[in-house]
Amino acid sequence: MSPEVARFLIAGGSAAAINWLARIALSWVMPYVASMLVAYGIGMAAGFWLYRTFVFRGAATGRLPRQVAVFVAVNAVGAGVVLGVSAALVAALAGLVPAVPLPVAEALGHGAGIAAGAVSNYFGHQILTFGARRGPVEA
């Protein structure tokens, strides 16, 4: 595994944990889908800073407005993946294992959705967001 991929997994895992924990807290005051969207935004802000600073070395020399715009676009696709996988898994668990409490099904569905979106986000950010004008990958 390359050092960049390892750094992405650590930074992405941190941003995902922030996203997941924020969704759980937000679910106390808003509906599931709304809490997922707000939490996704919170995790996205953390992820941008972590990826730009620690993962994609040399990315901080790129144009910030362009990086932010592309980052948001890549994450919009990722949000669709997260919402789709999360909703599908919650529905599947409700149908296949009706004894699973809804909050548990939502937490599992959201976690699986975040994991599914991570792969597309890595390649999108590596190629589109932070790929231009990056220095060589460092260990």
Would you say residue 133 has pLDDT above 60? Answer: no
Would you say residue 8 has pLDDT above 70? Answer: yes
pTM: 0.68
At residue 75, the pLDDT reads 87
Would you say residue 139 has pLDDT above 50? Answer: no
Provide the mean pLDDT of the chain: 86
Mean pLDDT value of segment 111-139: 74
The region of weakest confidence among 14-18, 20-24, 126-130 is: 126-130
Burial of 134 (0-12, 13-18, 19+ CB in 10 A): middle
Query: Six-digit token pair at 44?
Result: 């996205």
Q: How confident is the model at residue 138 (pLDDT cuts 50, 70, 90)?
A: very low
Q: How confident is the model at residue 70 (pLDDT cuts 50, 70, 90)?
A: very high
**Residue 14 near residue 118 (C-beta atoms within 8 A):** no
Which residue type is seen at 59?
A
Q: Please give the Cα distance from 82 to 70 (Å, whole number).
A: 18
Q: Please give the Cα distance from 22 to 38 (Å, whole number).
A: 8
Mean pLDDT value of segment 96-113: 90
